Amino acid sequence: MTTTIALFLLVAAIQEGDPLPEMLIQARDALEQGQYAEAVTLYEDAIELAMYGEDDGPVSGPLLARIRLGLAEAFRASRQNDDALRATEDIFDSDPGPETLDRALEIRYEIGLSYLNGTTRRLLGLEISAERKGLQVLGDLIQRYPFQPFSDDAVFHSANWYLKNKLPEDAERFFERLLREYPESPWTAPAQILAGDAVLAQIKGVEYDMGPLTVAERHYRRYLRLFPNQGESQRARMELGRIAKMRAQRHLLVAQFYLGIDKPESARVYLEKVLLDLPASEEAAEARRVIATLVPQPVQADR
């Protein structure tokens, strides 16, 4: 439904002779002409009139919600984003129709994403970062309205923000959610490879638990299998090579541990894994050097 048709129906639903229809027409005209401050004032006056100035009592919930949506649009157009968010919250309390609700949610998504991407907020006369506020707005939408047209976008951009801000555990959780709950999303390809990045970012070093390596490897291999022509195939292969190198370094570390407790044959098992997995690597050269120092395995005589 277009804005003009919605306004026509809204005005038609109000009794003839009521000053409210003319006020709403003026508010919409001001908004469309870019006179945002005037539009805000007119919509605020219209809400006051609709709630307290009608002889027959306040107008019905859906009509009041539609007027509040006009106020939210005016605040959004004038970049008074916090005020627009508050206006949309009032809409939720007004028994909105489905189209009004959808647009109110869309406005909240637009503001949340804008904040997440660096738009500032004015607080006590100062411009401050609003990224955390944007994350909160998007998170609330994801939690309460997970099946809106923008829901997968909200999940992806939240995940990406966590990854860029060195919060890989949260990033992994959101990327995994997108892959699980929105398999048809256009964001599945980047989410697949970035999920691998998020897992790798959690690994502190080869001295620590290397279990996440297998998870990261699965993401990169799945990306190569499902999205071979998406443009990040070379990087996925590079990350797989990095994983193989880290695993080889881990094997060398375990081998050194076994040598330290005088178990050379256990050490040999891990050294030979390095030779098998990365025969041309620096790690393989080190494995060969260490193997050469080991006492040869005794050859059992034929019986």
pLDDT tier for residue 19 given thresholds of 50, 70 and 90: confident
pLDDT for the residue 1: 44
Identify the three-state secondary structure at position 268.
helix
pLDDT tens column, 207-257: 777 788 999 999 999 999 999 988 899 999 999 999 999 999 999 999 999
What is residue 117's DSSP assignment? Answer: T
pLDDT tens column, 31-77: 999 999 999 999 999 999 888 865 555 666 888 999 999 999 999 99
Give bridge partners of residue 128 from the DSSP assignment.
121
pLDDT for the residue 204: 84
Tokens 């907020």 found at: 121
Identify the three-state secondary structure at position 185.
coil
pLDDT for the residue 205: 81
Using CA atoms, how far apart are residues 205 and 48, in angstroms rounded to an integer? 62
- Whether residue 182 is predicted with pLDDT greater than 70 in this model: the reply is yes
pLDDT tens column, 106-156: 999 999 999 999 887 766 565 678 899 999 999 999 999 999 999 999 999
Mean pLDDT of 253-270: 92
Residue 18 has φ and ψ, to the nearest 5°, of -80, 135
